Structure 1
Amino acid sequence: MSAKALLARYGQFIKFNLVGLLNTAIDFVVFSLLVGLGVPYLASQCVSYGAGIVNSFLLNRSWTFRERQGARGAQAVRFLLLNAVTLGLSLLLLYAFKSGLGLHPIAAKVIVTIFTTLVNFAGSKLWVFRAEGKRGG
Structure 2
Amino acid sequence: MNWFRKVFTKITKIEIKDDVWNGFVQFVKFGLVGLSNTVISYATYYILVPFNVNKYVASVIGFILSVANAFYWNNSYVFKKEDEEQRSPVQAFIKLFLSYAGTGLVLHNILLWFFTSICHISDYVAPVLNLLITIPLNFVLNKFWAFRAKKKK
TM > 0.5: yes
Q: Provide the aligned length of Structure 1 versus Structure 2.
A: 132
**Larger helix proportion, structure 1 or 2?**
1
Supply the distance in 1 between the matched residues of 2:102 and 2:56 (Cα, whole angstroms).
Answer: 21
Q: Which 4+ stretches in 1 moved above 2 angstroms?
A: 4-9
Mapping of residues 31-110 of structure 1, within 5 Å: 31-67=45-81, 69-86=86-103, 87-110=105-128
Q: Which residue of the partner structure matches residue 118 of structure 1?
A: 136
Q: Distance in 2 between matches of 1:50 and 1:82?
A: 13
TM-superposition CA deviations, 1:76-127 (whole Å, max 9, x none): 1111221222131111111000011111112111011111000000110111
Note the alpha carbon deviations across 1:34-92, whole angstroms, 9 max, x for none: 11211111111110111111101111111011137311111111112212221311111
Q: What letter matches 1:44 in structure 2?
A: A
Larger Rg: 2
Q: Which blocks of at least 5 consecutive residues in structure 1 are unaligned?
A: none
- Rounded Cα–Cα distance in structure 2 between residues aligned with 1:79 and 1:57: 7
Sequence identity percentage: 30
Cα RMSD after superposing both structures? 1.7
1:25 aligns with 2:14: no
TM-score (norm 1): 0.88
Whole-Å Cα distance in 2 between the matches of residues 64 and 72 of structure 1?
14
Distance in 2, matches of 1:72 and 1:66, equals 12
